Structure 1
Amino acid sequence: MTLTNKVIVVTGASSGIGALTAQMLSERGATVVIAARSLHKLQSVSTGMMGPCRMLELDVSQDESVQAAFEQVIKEFGHIDCLVNNAGYGKFEYCEDMPVTEFAEMMNVNYMGIVRCTKAVLPHMKKAGSGIIVNVASMAGKLGTSKSTAYSATKHAVLGFSNSLRQELREHGIQVTTINPGPIDTPFFSIADPEGHYVNNVKWFMMKPERVAKAMVSAIEKRKTEVNLPRMAAAGIKLYQMFPRLADRLSYSMLNKK
């Protein structure tokens, strides 16, 4: 798929892999709509865009905000070729210590945010008979670890939603892609791990955001079904799926670093 003149909406584009992915898409000729809650942060990201760019104030946790934002995009461009559902956050805490309200809010943003944005574009993509929906999940959606009960649950939900949606849309010419990265060196951890304990334990394993953004752009161009990063983690996930009880015992000390 050539990206020239394609209209691509990227949520959570104010920083991290969302911002970098948007800039790389712009370099390849796409018309990129960068969306996030903070217009101030989006303005900073927009200075690095090579091609046409629009900023969109969007709160994926609010029905009205999502509906209004996507109506604005359709009104201006008439269509959306690709949606990158990247908005989300995480907090690492033991289940008994995390308030139920935090479980609900994380699910509202990480999972329901994707549902809202996807439902907003689906009628237009189905009418066009084409489109790509990229949902950024996580390796945490395939393998749970200590202090990730809330976050992992949201990403498991994203994967279940994406896999089912792919089957629904197979005959409509719409591709559904999931991106499952391991830990990335981004501002994500300023909320998820404010004390830096987890980051210090996995520095050797953390990926540069440029690597993940490049993989996301490639997935769009090649219409890939799934991308798992890094390869070492992807191999571990396969082992876990085949031998879950054994993998749990082997991985306990290695993965529970929070």
Structure 2
Amino acid sequence: MHNILITGAASGIGAATARLFHRQGWSVGLLDIDRGALTALAEELGGAWHQVLDVTDADAVREALEAFCTQHDGQLRLLFNGAGILRCGPFAELALEEHVRTLNINVLGLLNLCHAAFPYLKRTANAQVINMSSASAQYGVPSMASYSASKFAVRGLTEALELEWREHGIRVGDLMPLFVATPMVASQRFTPPVMRRLSVKLNAEQIAQAAWQQAHGPTVHRPVGWQFRLLYLSGQLAPAWMNRLVMGWLSRA
């Protein structure tokens, strides 16, 4: 039986991914900082393995990986790094602590998980890491500056590990959606102009389906949704000034 360990599993994309892989017969491990929602989802999935976790706590991350993988002969088929936060607003109007927290969870948390997971992935056939990146990693997005920066880091780490871990038989890729209808997006008190222009057209189940596709036909970057697939393709072909022009237009108030 294949196994998957999911961070940010208690709601949104993480929960949708857990449900999908569970339906497909995978052994699912759930990690999240929200104890109540995590427990409820674990019960929904027939008593799935779960543990409350702050992904920025490196020691706790190592302990969680050991606890889950010990139940699977020290192996890990798939790590899904779904934990992340978003705080929208003009850069200078958000407290510095908000920016730091975004980077700590979105980047440091992912580093902690990848580092702790490596020994288990290395001893597993067809092992894989799927990171939640974003369309915001294509070009810096105004009013989402620290979030965008964090996803640039996710993209860079994904590309580096995809090359570095090939020799160990570990595939690494990311998912790059536009805005997704999740509690995280719905809770924003400020709506960036680019979000108003492009609107929220994706749901968590669509991202979970993309994760399923990635698990069986991996690419380094998987754009999700027709809007961003077009933007991503044009971004690969167009000169840098054109990408800046497009983002400038999308970000007008």
Instruction: Output the amino acid matched with 2:162.
Output: R
State the partner residue of 1:113: 109
Superposition deviation, residue 221 in structure 1: 2.1
Q: 2: CA distance between counterparts of 1:254 and 1:38?
A: 34
Matches within 5 A, 1:143-182: 143-182=139-178
Instruction: Report the CA distance between 1:198 and its aligned residue.
Output: 6.0
Where 1:179 maps in the other structure, the secondary structure is: strand
Cross-structure match for 2:91: 95
Q: Secondary structure at the match of 1:111?
A: helix
- Cα deviation for residue 200 of structure 1 reads 7.7
Q: Determine the C-alpha separation between the residues in 2 that align with 1:131 and 1:32.
A: 15
Once the two structures are TM-superposed, the CA of residue 52 in structure 1 deviates from its matched residue by: 6.6
TM-aligned CA deviation for residue 97 of structure 1: 1.9
Partner of 2:19 in structure 1? 23
Please give the root-mean-square deviation of Cα atoms over the aligned residues, in Å: 2.1
Q: CA 1:18–1:159 in structure 2 vs 1: closer, same or farther (change >3 Å)?
A: same
- Consecutive unaligned residues of structure 1, counting only runs of 5 or more, are none
Query: How far is the alpha carbon of 1:188 from its aligned partner?
Result: 1.1
Are positions 1:239 and 2:234 aligned together? Answer: yes
CA contact 2:139–2:247 (8 Å) conserved in 1:
no
Change (3 A) 1:139 1:80: same
Aligned length: 251
CA, structure 1 residues 129+46, in 2 after alignment: closer, same or farther (shift >3 Å)? closer
- Correspondence 1:41 to 2:37: yes
- One-letter code of the match for 2:217? K
Structure 1 CA distance for aligned equivalents of residues 197 and 241 of structure 2: 24
How many Å separate the matches in 2 of 1:200 and 1:149?
14
Contact 1:129 1:172 in 2 (8 A): no
Q: Which position in structure 1 is the counterpart of 2:60? A: 65
Picking from 189, 201, 206, the partner of 2:201 is: 206
On the 8 A contact 1:139/1:181 being kept in 2, the answer is yes
**Matches of 2:39 and 2:198, distance apart in 1:** 30
Aligned counterparts of 2:198 and 2:153: Cα–Cα separation in 1: 27
* Contact 1:32-1:52 at 8 Å conserved across structures: no
What residue number does 1:139 align with?
A: 135
Per-residue CA deviations over 1:111-164 (Å, capped at 9, x if unaligned) read: 111110011110122233541100001010112221111100000000001100
Instruction: Name the structure 1 match of 2:49.
Output: 54
CA contact (8 A) 2:89 2:192 kept: no
**Paired letter, 2:205:** E
Q: 1:255 to 1:199 in 2, by over 3 A?
A: closer
Per the TM alignment, residue 203 of structure 1 is displaced from its structure 2 partner at its CA by 7.2
Q: Which amino acid aligns with 1:246?
A: M
1:194 aligned to which of 189, 195, 201: 189
Q: 2 CA distance for matches of 1:256 and 1:43?
A: 42
Unaligned stretches of 5+ in structure 2? none
Alignment-derived partner of residue 229 in structure 1: 224
Check conservation: 2:3, 2:77, Cα contact below 8 A. Answer: yes
Deviation at 1:230, TM superposition (A): 1.5
2:214 is equivalent to residue 219 of structure 1: yes
Alpha-carbon distance in structure 1 between the residues aligned to 2:41 and 2:119:
29
Structure 1: which amino acid aligns with 2:53?
L
Sequence identity (%) = 23
Is 2:56–2:108's contact at 8 Å kept on the other side of the alignment?
Answer: yes
